[in-house]
Amino acid sequence: MQPRWIFPPVSLLILGVAVFASPQSAIRRGAGLSGGQEAVIIRCRALETHASDERGVTIVVFHQEAKEDQKHLSDLLKQFSEATVEWQRGGDKWENATVIRLKTCFGRGLLMIPSTMVAPKDGESFLLRFPAPIAATSK
């Protein structure tokens, strides 16, 4: 006698929802940055955004959107702290910004954007494009 599946469509539906809902790494490699060199793109989420019109800068405290990207973002922040990177919100064009590693917060970064640009709001996702890493960091 063969086993009988009472509700196979329900089982497949539950499996499909679990696969669809699981976060996926947002790291991509490809062409990028103004010089045309290789780049690494990672999806991030803004935690806090603060602007100073007097200083002409908006700062965004951010981290990776997908949990499995935490170590990779941390390595990129160590290697490229205080470097120029590019960021993109939705389908907008890529814009330059300065990224800074927050040493007291593992996997957190600070993005400095000219106040003339519309910065990501608290909780909003955006893409961050780093130059391709030169070598793996071990700090």
Supply the CATH number for residue 70's domain.
2.40.10
Do residues 135 and 76 lie in contact, with contact meaning Cβ atoms separated by under 8 Å? no
pLDDT at 91: 87
- Tell me which residue range forms the domain holding 114: 26-131
Q: How far apart are the C-alpha atoms of 48 and 61, rounded to whole Å?
A: 5
pLDDT at 107: 80
Two structure tokens written together for 101? 């590693």
pLDDT at 136: 52
Do residues 99 and 89 lie in contact, with contact meaning Cβ atoms separated by under 8 Å? no
Q: How far apart are the C-alpha atoms of 58 and 118, rounded to whole Å?
A: 9
Q: Which residues of 20-30 are buried (b: 16+ CB within 10 A; e: fewer)?
A: eeeeeebbeee
Instruction: Give, as one character, the DSSP assignment of residue 67.
Output: G
20 located within any domain: no
50 located within any domain: yes
Q: How far apart are the C-alpha atoms of 65 and 50, rounded to whole Å?
A: 20
pLDDT at 7: 39
118 located within any domain: yes
**Number of domains composing the chain:** 1
Q: How far apart are the C-alpha atoms of 35 and 49, rounded to whole Å?
A: 29
10 located within any domain: no
17 located within any domain: no
pLDDT at 30: 54
1 located within any domain: no
Widest distance between CA atoms in the chain: 79
14 located within any domain: no
Q: What is the pLDDT along the chain (139 residues), one digit of tens a residue?
A: 554 434 343 333 333 333 333 345 555 655 555 556 689 999 999 999 999 999 999 999 999 999 999 999 999 999 999 999 999 998 899 999 999 999 888 789 999 999 999 999 999 999 999 998 876 544 4
137 located within any domain: no
Task: Give the DSSP H or E segment for 96.
Answer: strand 95-101
